[in-house]
């Protein structure tokens, strides 16, 4: 890569901040080139600011292999603050790659003490996203209580813009689980307008698609197909599998639109069979599974028309996940029985 001349002649380049770097690149290069150039600088710069905040840039743009490289480089930094930032992102990467259980991740991140307001934000974001993985959605409210105070200490405008994208993703989940759909969709569209990360874009479309579970099939399927399009374009195989094998079958079965829909996932197979009227087949499929999901309890309760199972599903959604949106699945059926 040929570095822009301003950096070759600039003796103070090792003291450049990530924000300054991006601003200069936008002045000298077309917008579509800036992300790729910033990506390269994050890996090769000697600026402590870029070495630290470059990890957030790489993470937010989905450059996870590069992030791993930069974390390793920062682990060997002579700067103690840079090493601590690297440790936080190592936990982030380990969680993403499922190298440790969410409970372990939480214990590790809680051991990190810092007075750095930016790093404090990152630690709290890590905690709340881990709670999300544990389906402890009520914890999102706790994060929102301290969010303004956390953000008030962050002076770097570029880093703050990344944090606001993270916050909007959290607000989407928060409002969706509280069944506040207008607000949830507002934050989803905000994120779509703020990010170029294909994983994030696909995730937003999935959540938008599922937000139409109790509204319209066509609108929900539009967003799921958009998620599938993004995932296929960028080779996100796990996302393709999730949408094709779980999300689309779920929404299709829910709206009884299963003409050419299939899934290798046993619980979604059962859901499809229920939509087709093959309740006994659905019951057989579900009896082979551990009923450790409120969705599976709902499917079995729906197949059997069993109020007790549906009530168990409802309580699971509310008490263990604080999910008032999907709790409407068993609740709606209970009211009809």
Quote the pTM value.
0.89
- Quote the CA–CA distance of 172 and 116 in Å, as a whole number: 27
Hey, which of 1-15, 95-109, 230-244 has the most confident mean pLDDT? 230-244
pLDDT at 117: 94
Distances (CA, A) of 148 to 40, 51, 83, 154, 223: 33, 26, 27, 10, 31
- Report the C-alpha gap between 130 and 89 in whole angstroms: 14
Instruction: Give yes or no for residue 110 having a pLDDT over 70.
Output: yes
pLDDT tens per residue across span 286-332: 998 988 899 999 999 999 999 999 999 999 999 998 899 999 999 99
Dist. CA 329–CA 307, nearest whole Å: 13
Q: Are 175 and 184 a contacting pair, CB within 8 Å?
A: yes
pLDDT over 60 (residue 12): no
DSSP state of 134: T
Instruction: Report the 10 Å Cβ neighbour count for 195.
Output: 20
List Cα–Cα distances, 48 to 182, 202, 244, in angstroms: 41, 32, 43
**Is residue 42's pLDDT more than 90?**
yes
Query: Looking at per-residue confidence, does 143 or 222 come out higher?
Result: 222
pLDDT at 164: 94
- Crossing angle between the packed helical segments 181-194 and 157-177, to the nearest 10 degrees: 150
Residue 91 CA from chain centroid, whole number: 16
pLDDT at 15: 76
Beta-carbon-side half-sphere exposure of residue 87 (alpha carbons within 13 Å): 17
The torsion angle over the Cα atoms of residues 183, 184, 186 and 190, rounded to 10 degrees, is 140
CA angle 111, 117, 121 (to 5 degrees): 65
Helix (H, G, I), strand (E, B) or coil at 264: coil
Computed over every residue of the chain, the mean pLDDT equals 92
Percent of the chain beyond pLDDT 90? 76
Q: How far is CA 86 from CA 54, 70, 73, 245, 285, in A?
A: 11, 8, 9, 36, 46
Environment class of 65 (CB within 10 Å of its CB; exposed 0-12, middle 13-18, buried 19+): exposed
- Coil, strand, or helix at residue 324? coil
Mark out the alpha helices in 195-290 (DSSP H runs).
198-210, 217-233, 237-242, 248-254, 266-276, 279-287
């Amino acid at each position: 890569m040929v570095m822009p001349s301003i950096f070759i002649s600039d003796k103070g380049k090792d003291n450049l901040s990530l924000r300054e770097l991006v601003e200069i690149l936008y002045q000298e290069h077309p917008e579509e080139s800036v992300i790729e150039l910033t990506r390269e600088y994050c890996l090769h710069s000697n600026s402590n600011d870029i070495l630290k905040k470059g990890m957030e840039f790489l993470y937010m743009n989905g450059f996870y292999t590069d992030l791993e490289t930069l974390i390793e480089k920062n682990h060997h930094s002579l700067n103690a603050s840079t090493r601590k930032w690297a440790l936080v992102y190592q936990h982030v990467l380990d969680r993403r790659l499922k190298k440790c259980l969410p409970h372990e991740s939480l214990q590790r991140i809680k051991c990190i003490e810092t007075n750095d307001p930016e790093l404090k934000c990152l630690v709290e974001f890590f905690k709340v996203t881990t709670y999300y993985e544990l389906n402890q959605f009520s914890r999102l409210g706790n994060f929102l209580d301290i969010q303004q105070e956390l953000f008030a200490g962050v002076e770097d405008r570029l880093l703050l813009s990344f944090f606001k994208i993270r916050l909007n993703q959290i607000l989407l989940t928060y409002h969706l689980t509280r069944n506040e759909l207008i607000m949830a969709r507002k934050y989803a569209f905000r994120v779509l307008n703020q990010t170029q990360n294909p994983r994030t874009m696909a995730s937003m479309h999935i959540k938008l698609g599922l937000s139409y579970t109790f509204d319209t099939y066509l609108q929900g399927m539009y967003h799921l197909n958009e998620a599938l399009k993004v995932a296929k374009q960028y080779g996100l195989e796990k996302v393709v599998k999730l949408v094709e094998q779980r999300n689309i079958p779920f929404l299709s079965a829910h709206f009884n639109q299963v003409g050419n829909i299939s899934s290798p996932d046993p619980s979604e197979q059962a859901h499809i069979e229920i939509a087709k009227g093959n309740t006994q087949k659905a019951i057989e499929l579900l009896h082979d599974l551990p009923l450790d999901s409120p969705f599976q309890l709902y499917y079995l309760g729906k197949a059997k028309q069993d109020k007790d199972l549906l009530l168990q599903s409802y309580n699971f959604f509310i008490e263990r996940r604080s999910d008032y949106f999907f709790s409407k699945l068993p609740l709606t059926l209970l009211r009809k029985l």
